[in-house]
């Protein structure tokens, strides 16, 4: 199981994101759990973001989480941003 790292900058974005989207919290939790178990699971739709040096996984068809596998050697995934397609 990989460890999910949420830096303070991500936590602030996460709080703002869920202010008007409380209905997505369960999907979000499921996404993070699946990410920690198997980052390559097809349901996550993991792909490299061409314009940035990071990857994206889907919460649903509209919302994404940006992340990096920078710390994967230690079994850690660093979360960067959360939002819709505009975060690309």
Could you give phi then psi for residue 50, rounded to 5 degrees? Answer: -65, -35
Q: What is the pLDDT of residue 77?
A: 93
* pLDDT tens readout for residues 52-76: 889 999 999 999 999 998 766 678 9
* pLDDT tens readout for residues 29-50: 999 999 999 999 999 999 999 8
The residue segments making up the domain with residue 34 are 3-87
Q: pTM for the full model?
A: 0.89
Mean pLDDT of 8-15: 96
Q: What is the pLDDT of residue 12?
A: 96
CATH number at residue 76: 3.30.2310.20
Give start and end residues of each alpha helix (H) in 1-88. Answer: 8-19, 25-37
- Cβ(75)–Cβ(3) below 8 Å: yes
Residue 79 pairs in a beta bridge with 67
Number of structural domains in the chain: 1
């Amino acid at each position: 199981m990989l460890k999910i790292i949420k830096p303070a900058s991500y936590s602030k974005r996460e709080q703002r994101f869920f202010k008007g989207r409380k209905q997505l919290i369960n999907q979000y939790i499921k996404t993070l759990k699946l990410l920690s178990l198997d980052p390559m699971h097809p349901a996550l739709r993991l792909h490299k973001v061409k314009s940035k040096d990071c990857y994206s996984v889907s919460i649903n068809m509209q919302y994404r989480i940006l992340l990096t596998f920078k710390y994967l050697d230690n079994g850690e995934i660093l979360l960067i941003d959360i939002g819709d397609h505009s975060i690309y």
